[in-house]
């Protein structure tokens, strides 16, 4: 998979090529890395790389992968932009609040067809307005909030269903965010 | 938890329980609210926490003897709402209020309101606070007391360029334009040459007017590589003021302190004595009471008064470890009318690192989130003050400080080595934070040499990113997570139950884009 750190432009390709017991063969931007993985009972693990033992922990959120490696903390966002068959051309099945805040404006209505990059809603957080945009063409299936609602980080704001089939676009990759 | 591993800790000057404080309202949140509650409890004082809607599940709420809601998450309507807090204190039958730091701690009107409702304000009197809160007035107090201030011009009318030019010519460029009502680096401008003076004055005045509703500015000589050194003070109601040594706070980023230590490395005892005497003179001249800190800039053999912070400082634990005292206990004793006594001689060395919810690799932008997994350091000489626990949320409404790590050692090198090791043990999954950055700073040769100035980070760490091995490990971890082979939010018998209801990674109906979709993109612009 291809990832980048939130806030970074640099994309990094990383894959687990093989696992052989505790030995993990990873490939990072074309370079092979061999690491020893020792799971820990607390849900984390130790990774031994080049003789260094680094404690790791990781979890998914809706939009990213969070990782702690030693004291270092990372948020990775996958950047595979291709519209895979299993998601029917949707970049994600819903829009969630990127931070806690108040819904200031809903720009679309249920049943609307939206295009990639179209503004959907405006959220007020940290005294700033943040506009949420569509990342792919879709149909608004359900709006789960009303104007004035306070929403939590990760709360679902809008649910989508796939956009009506458009033969001219079905094979083309979705543009990257 | 207060002071693990420090055997000299726990000294209290032949004190008895305060006579008049039975119930204390803590008008704050986060680590400092928790820290104040702990000290009050040791003295047998009942505690009342206050909380906004965003903090209903916070650690300080659980720790207090009772807790009262004071309003919505927006601090202007909760933690800065004097009426709501005074109302909560009266309803709870509190007889004293501790403001902590930040929020209302330096608002004279809050101290007055507390007074007016017959409660004890744990801090200086409102009038003293008001005088010291104005930087120009504080400079005058210092000048009258014979304490050196940075060469400057007390007030400048932005249109009176001739006077400003005259000062700049005699002091030499660069000069610094500062807001009289300023704080936190706002309303501050460095002017490097005569041609930029008019624009600098106007910009600072405009910024000050917008930020503080007070456009008065003044001019100071700009010091190239100063050190920031401050003196801890305690004053009682009987006119006695004592000093508890100094703290070096030169490691700053945009005027925000990140690492503090005591003693100040390499400071001669003659210089230390001179600065402490100046601080005591100032505090006496101002009629100072309770805990406060006099801040100075040190430039070669000269030192200059900056300001007095009329409250407990974030970095106070550094002093506590060296002096074997509890400054919150001292504050409560003073507030109850007891006398301060000369402190015992300090020993050893202590360093504090502020771990913030910020992304150090990306211009320190604020991070938010929920704690999924937390590993805290321990060991001899290691103290950690934090309100974090699994499930705790860092919201966008408040300060980014999530933990203070304080290490004590027999000398600076021992405390530095303990700090580097302890930061290496710190592990927080769920919120981007500055622990790895701080570890690299503490482990650096420049910090080990104590080559300190307020420009330290600009000079030594202009563009920090995570080290190679950590990034490699993190990328492999991310691939393991994506493949379903690592999930620290779910696994772990001890934390599974605590996580089950609030963990974001569970998603709605256990369904996430990750399980359903082959690939995915981020929604919205971050």
* Contact yes or no for A67 and B478 at CB 8 A: yes
3-state secondary structure at position B485: coil
Q: Chain B partners of A96 at a C-beta cutoff of 8 Å?
A: 523
CB A54 within 8 A of CB A40: no
Cβ atoms within 10 A of the Cβ of B23, count? 18
Task: Name the residue among A176, A122, A115 with its Cα closest to residue A149.
Answer: A122
Residues linked to residue B383 through DSSP beta bridges, in sequence order: B406
pLDDT at A89: 53
Burial letters A62-98, b for 16+ CB under 10 A, else e: bbbbbbbbbbbbbbbbbbbbebeeebbbbbbbbbbbb
CB B427 within 8 A of CB B374: yes
- What separation in angstroms does the CA of B220 have from each of A82, B164, B165, B168, B227? 58, 10, 12, 9, 16
Task: Name the residue among A156, A61, A172 with its Cα closest to residue A116.
Answer: A172
3-state secondary structure at position B122: coil
* Contact yes or no for A67 and B429 at CB 8 A: yes
Q: Chain A partners of B512 at a C-beta cutoff of 8 Å?
A: 60, 62
Active site members of B:
311
Q: Is B423 on the interface with A (CB under 8 A)?
A: yes
Give the contacts of B493 (CB within 8 A, at least 6 positions apart): A41
Minimal CA separation from B90 to chain A, in Å: 30
Q: What is the pLDDT along chain B (526 residues), one digit of tens a residue?
A: 333 333 333 333 444 344 589 999 999 999 999 999 999 999 999 999 999 999 999 999 999 999 999 999 999 999 999 999 999 999 999 999 999 999 999 999 999 999 999 999 999 999 999 999 888 889 899 999 999 999 888 777 767 888 888 888 888 899 999 888 766 566 788 899 999 998 888 888 888 888 778 888 888 899 989 999 999 999 999 999 999 999 999 999 988 999 999 999 999 999 999 999 999 999 999 999 999 999 999 999 999 999 999 999 999 999 999 999 999 999 999 999 999 999 999 999 999 999 999 999 988 989 999 999 999 999 999 999 999 999 999 998 998 999 999 999 999 999 999 999 999 999 999 999 999 999 999 999 999 999 999 999 999 999 999 878 899 999 999 999 999 999 998 644 333 333 333 334 433 333 344 443 333 333 333 3
E strand or H helix at B92, and its extent? helix B82-92
pLDDT at A131: 77
Q: Is B268 on the interface with A (CB under 8 A)?
A: no
* Closest chain A CA to residue B376: A71
Residue for token pair 């609602």:
A149
CB B280 within 8 A of CB B233: yes
Do the bridges between strand B393-394 and strand B369-370 make them parallel or antiparallel, or are there none, so unpaired? antiparallel
- CB nearest A57 (choices: B373, B467, B503): B373
Cβ atoms within 10 A of the Cβ of B517, count? 18
- CB nearest A58 (choices: B431, B480, B495): B480
Residue B440 tokens read as 């690299």
CB A4 within 8 A of CB A76: yes
Calculate Rg over the CA atoms of chain A.
20
Sheet holding A150-151, edge to edge: A128-133, A119-125, A101-106, A150-151
* Contact yes or no for B524 and A92 at CB 8 A: no
Minimal CA separation from A103 to chain B, in Å: 14
E strand or H helix at B514, and its extent? helix B513-516
Q: Is B510 on the interface with A (CB under 8 A)?
A: no
Q: What is the pLDDT along chain A (177 residues), one digit of tens a residue?
A: 999 998 888 899 999 999 999 999 999 999 999 999 999 999 999 999 999 999 999 999 888 999 999 999 999 998 865 433 344 556 667 887 777 778 888 999 999 998 877 889 888 765 566 778 887 788 999 999 999 888 877 778 998 888 776 544 433 344 333
CA B200 to chain centre: 29
- CB nearest A154 (choices: B469, B504, B524): B504
CB A25 within 8 A of CB A16: yes
Backbone dihedral angles phi then psi of residue A154, each to the nearest 5 degrees:
90, -5
pTM of the model: 0.80
CB A62 within 8 A of CB A98: no
Q: Is B397 on the interface with A (CB under 8 A)?
A: yes
3-state secondary structure at position B40: helix
> What is the spatial distance between Cα B9 and Cα A95, in angstroms, rounded to a whole number?
52
Q: Is B239 on the interface with A (CB under 8 A)?
A: no
Cβ atoms within 10 A of the Cβ of A23, count? 12
pLDDT at B118: 95
* Contact yes or no for A92 and B521 at CB 8 A: yes
pLDDT at A155: 79
In the 8-state DSSP scheme, what is residue B194? Answer: G
CB B97 within 8 A of CB B22: no
* Contact yes or no for B523 and A99 at CB 8 A: no
ipTM for the complex? 0.82
pLDDT at A62: 81
3-state secondary structure at position B60: helix
Backbone dihedral angles phi then psi of residue B478, each to the nearest 5 degrees:
-65, -40
* Closest chain A CA to residue B492: A42
E strand or H helix at B46, and its extent? strand B46-52
Give the contacts of A35 (CB within 8 A, at least 6 positions apart): A23, A24, A26, A47, A48, A49, B473, B476
Minimal CA separation from B288 to chain A, in Å: 36
Minimal CA separation from A41 to chain B, in Å: 6
> What is the spatial distance between Cα A169 and Cα A137, in angstroms, rounded to a whole number?
10
Q: Is B518 on the interface with A (CB under 8 A)?
A: yes
> What is the spatial distance between Cα B339 and Cα B337, in angstroms, rounded to a whole number?
7
> What is the spatial distance between Cα B520 and Cα B526, in angstroms, rounded to a whole number?
16
Q: Chain A partners of B427 at a C-beta cutoff of 8 Å?
A: 44, 55, 57, 68, 70-71
> Which of A22, A36, A74, A141 is the best residue to mutate to test the B interface, defined by the most B CB atoms within 10 Å of its own CB?
A74
Using a 10 angstrom Cβ sphere, with 0-12 exposed, 13-18 middle and 19 or more buried, the burial of residue B183 is middle
- CB nearest A58 (choices: B395, B428, B477): B477
pLDDT at B517: 35
Minimal CA separation from B361 to chain A, in Å: 9
Residue for token pair 């660069």:
B174
């Amino acid at each position: 998979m291809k990832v980048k750190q939130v806030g970074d432009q640099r994309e990094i390709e990383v894959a687990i090529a093989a696992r052989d017991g505790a030995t993990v063969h990873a490939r990072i931007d074309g370079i092979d890395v061999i690491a020893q993985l020792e799971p820990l009972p607390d849900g984390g693990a130790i990774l031994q790389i080049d003789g260094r033992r680094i404690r790791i922990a990781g979890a998914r959120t809706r939009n990213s992968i969070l990782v702690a490696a030693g004291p270092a903390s990372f948020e990775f966002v996958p950047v595979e932009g291709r519209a895979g068959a299993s998601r029917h051309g949707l970049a994600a099945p819903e829009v969630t609040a990127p931070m806690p805040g108040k819904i200031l404006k809903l720009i679309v209505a249920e049943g609307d067809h939206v295009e990639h990059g179209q503004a959907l809603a405006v959220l007020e957080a940290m005294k700033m307005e943040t506009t949420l945009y569509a990342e792919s063409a879709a149909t608004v299936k359900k709006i789960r909030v009303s104007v004035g609602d306070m929403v939590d980080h990760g709360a679902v704001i809008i649910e989508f269903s796939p956009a009506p089939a458009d033969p001219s676009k079905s094979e083309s990759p979705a543009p990257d965010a | 938890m207060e002071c693990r591993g420090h055997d000299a800790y726990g000294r209290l000057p032949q004190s008895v329980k305060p006579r008049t404080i039975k119930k204390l309202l803590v008008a704050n949140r986060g680590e400092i609210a928790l820290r104040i509650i702990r000290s009050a409890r040791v003295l047998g004082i009942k505690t009342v926490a206050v909380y906004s809607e965003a903090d209903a599940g916070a650690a300080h709420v659980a720790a207090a003897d009772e807790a009262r809601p004071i309003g919505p998450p927006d601090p202007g309507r909760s933690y800065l709402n004097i009426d709501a807090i005074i109302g909560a204190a009266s309803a709870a039958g509190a007889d004293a209020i501790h403001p902590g730091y930040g929020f209302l701690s330096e608002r004279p009107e809050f101290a007055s309101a507390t007074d007016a409702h017959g409660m004890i304000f744990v801090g200086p009197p409102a009038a003293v606070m008001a005088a010291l809160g104005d930087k120009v007035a504080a400079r005058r107090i210092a000048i009258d007391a014979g304490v050196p201030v940075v060469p400057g011009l007390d007030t400048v009318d932005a249109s009176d360029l001739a006077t400003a030019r005259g000062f700049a010519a005699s002091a030499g460029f660069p000069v610094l334009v500062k807001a009289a009502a300023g704080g936190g680096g706002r309303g501050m401008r460095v002017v490097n040459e005569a041609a930029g003076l008019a624009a600098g004055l106007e910009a600072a005045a405009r910024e000050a007017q917008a930020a503080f509703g007070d456009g008065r500015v003044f001019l100071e000589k700009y010091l190239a590589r100063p050190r920031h050194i401050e003196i801890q003070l305690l004053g009682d109601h009987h006119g006695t003021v004592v000093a508890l040594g100094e703290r070096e706070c030169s490691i700053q980023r945009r005027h925000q302190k990140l690492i503090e230590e005591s003693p100040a490395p390499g400071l001669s005892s003659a210089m230390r004595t001179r600065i402490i005497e100046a601080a005591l003179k100032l505090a006496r001249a101002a009629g100072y009471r309770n805990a406060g800190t006099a801040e100075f800039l040190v430039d070669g053999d000269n030192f200059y008064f900056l300001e007095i912070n009329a409250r407990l400082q974030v970095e106070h634990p550094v002093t506590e470890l060296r002096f074997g005292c509890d400054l919150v206990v001292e504050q409560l004793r003073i507030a109850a009318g007891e006398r301060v006594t000369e402190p015992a001689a300090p020993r050893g060395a202590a360093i504090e690192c502020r771990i913030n919810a910020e992304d150090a690799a990306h211009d320190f932008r604020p991070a938010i989130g929920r704690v999924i997994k937390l590993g805290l350091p321990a060991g001899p000489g290691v103290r950690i003050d934090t309100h974090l626990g699994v499930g705790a949320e860092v919201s966008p409404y408040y300060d980014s400080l999530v933990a203070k790590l304080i290490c004590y050692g027999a000398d600076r090198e021992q405390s530095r080595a303990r700090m580097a090791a302890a930061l290496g043990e710190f592990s927080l999954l769920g919120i981007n934070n500055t622990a790895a950055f701080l570890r690299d700073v503490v482990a650096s040769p420049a910090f080990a040499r104590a080559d300190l100035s307020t420009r330290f980070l600009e000079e030594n760490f202009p563009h920090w990113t995570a080290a190679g091995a950590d990034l490699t490990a993190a990328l492999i971890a991310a691939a393991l997570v994506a493949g379903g082979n690592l999930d620290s939010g779910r696994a772990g018998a001890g934390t599974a139950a605590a996580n089950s209801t609030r963990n974001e990674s569970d998603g709605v109906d256990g369904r996430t884009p990750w399980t359903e979709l082959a690939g995915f993109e981020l929604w919205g612009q971050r």
